[in-house]
Amino acid sequence: GAPLRESMGYSGGGTGFGGQLTDWMPGAESVDAALLPSLRLGNARADDLVRNNGIAANAVSLHKDHIVGHLFLISYRPNWQYLGMRESAARSFINEVESAWTEYCDGIFGEIDIEGKRTFTEFIREGVGVHAFNGEIFLQPVWDAETTQLFRTRFKAISPKRIDTPGHAMGNKQLRAGVEVDRNGKALAYHVCDDDWPLSGAGQWTRIPKYLPSGRPA
């Protein structure tokens, strides 16, 4: 065995206690360089595991229950002093905002969802679940011009698997896994594979800028 002082020191580049690490020689790569070449396959494997393995599916379900629960409530705490409000007026405003939020985001008919399927809580539960095994989630704000309701902003869930470099190509320095970035790494636009089920994306992509000219998220 190794002397006590040597065994207690750092040996991350060593061979291990019995030489188990001798042949383990991973390359020193950035996160993108390590993950992006096999990202689609890795995500597909994770998705298949969660879909078909009971233990993995229950782990994700418990993960959602522990983080979100059955109702995701807003706790609005504006800086009323900075806004120049009196405390009594701020409390009244907080109650009004929280009531409006609950009516809009957790309504019976899923008004916040452009598909009319999800409440805000269900959006968060779905997002936490997808993030657990895919590492990212995507939502797009949508303006519903046809509704007669007070709030017209809606949201649409987009599968992370549809965000990819056109043609499922490798990409380059400015286009990584379907995300256009500037020289500082800030996202500029996303390339979304068109939903043409059952063909699973036959080759048509739509470029969606991160922000509209007005500054509003696209």
Residues 145 and 198 both lie in one domain: no
Q: What is the pLDDT of residues 106-123, one digit of tens each?
A: 887 788 999 989 999 999
Other residues' Cβ atoms within 10 Å of the Cβ of residue 6: 10
141 lies in some domain: yes
Residue 200 lies inside a defined structural domain of this protein: yes
Look at residue 130 and tell me whether its pLDDT is greater than 70: yes
Q: Are residues 64 and 172 in the same domain?
A: no
- Do 204 and 177 lie in one domain? The reply is yes
The answer on 170 and 146 residing in a single domain is no
Interval 132-178: pLDDT, tens: 988 888 999 999 998 888 889 999 999 888 899 998 888 899 999 99
**4 or 25: which leads in pLDDT:** 25
* 143 domain-assigned: yes
Q: Tell whether 134 and 174 lie within a shared domain.
A: no
Give me 45's structure tokens: 């494997």
Q: Does residue 92 lie in a domain region?
A: no
Q: Say if residues 123 and 155 touch (Cβ distance below 8 Å).
A: yes
Helix axes 39-52, 54-67, angle to 10 degrees: 90
Same domain as 151, residue 48: yes
pLDDT in tens, 9-41: 556 677 777 777 888 888 888 888 888 989 889
For residues 178 and 54, what is the distance between their CA atoms, to the nearest angstrom? 31
Do 217 and 113 belong together in one domain?
no
Domain range holding 63? 29-71+106-158
Q: Say how many domains are in the chain.
A: 2
For residues 110 and 151, state if they share a domain: yes
In a domain, residue 85? The reply is: no
Q: Is residue 146 part of a domain?
A: yes
pLDDT given at position 7: 58
Question: Residue 21 has what pLDDT?
Answer: 80
Greatest CA span in the chain, whole angstroms? 77
* SS3 call for 3: coil
The model scores a pTM over 0.85:
no
Inter-helix orientation angle 54-67/120-134, to 10°: 130
Same domain, 151 and 200: no
The per-residue pLDDT for 27 is 84
Q: What is the pLDDT of residues 51-106, one digit of tens each?
A: 999 999 999 999 999 999 888 888 999 999 999 999 999 999 999 999 999 889 98
137 and 173 both lie in a single domain = no
Check whether residue 125 and residue 57 sit in a common domain: yes
pLDDT digits (tens, 9 = 90+) for 165-198: 998 888 899 999 999 999 999 999 999 988 777 7
Looking at the fold, whether 147 and 196 belong to one and the same domain comes out as no
